Amino acid sequence: MNFKYVVAIVPSEAVESLERQLRIMGVGGITLTRVKGFGEYKNFFTSDWLSEHTKIEIFTEESKVEALLNALLETALSDVPGAGIAAVMSVEKFLHLRCGAEVLPDPSV
């Protein structure tokens, strides 16, 4: 089984709707972290330029990535500059720490 790591930074108000979408899709787990930062677009309306968002991290099967990205777009898409980002990265190894078992790639893929 080939895994991907999907990380996204979205407005915090989009998280509840996104969580519902992910449950419907059968996503097995999600990590949420409250973050502050700025990228290409700074928040010039405050003295520190930082915006608060939520960072979403998901490990998922490669076959579910497109549906996951579509769910992110449906729930977090905005025409507001600096509304968020998403990235997909390959996972070289995936271990279950409870038992130390490694999930091996599917040789048929």
Average confidence (pLDDT) over 50-78: 89
Residue with the bigger pLDDT between 18 and 103: it is: 18
- pLDDT for 104: 65
Residue with the bigger pLDDT between 99 and 85: it is: 85
Per-residue exposure over 75-99, b if at least 16 CB sit within 10 Å of its own CB, e if not:
bbeeeeebbbeeebeeeeeeeeeee
CATH of 3-102, one of 2.60.120.380, 3.30.70.120, 3.40.50.740, 3.50.50.60: 3.30.70.120
HSE, side-chain direction, 13 A CA sphere, residue 4: 17
For 62, phi then psi, to 5°, come to -55, -35
- pLDDT for 27: 87
pLDDT confidence bin for 109, thresholds 50/70/90: very low
Residue with the bigger pLDDT between 30 and 99: it is: 30
- pLDDT for 5: 95
Given a cut of 70, whether residue 90 has pLDDT beyond it is yes
- pLDDT for 108: 45
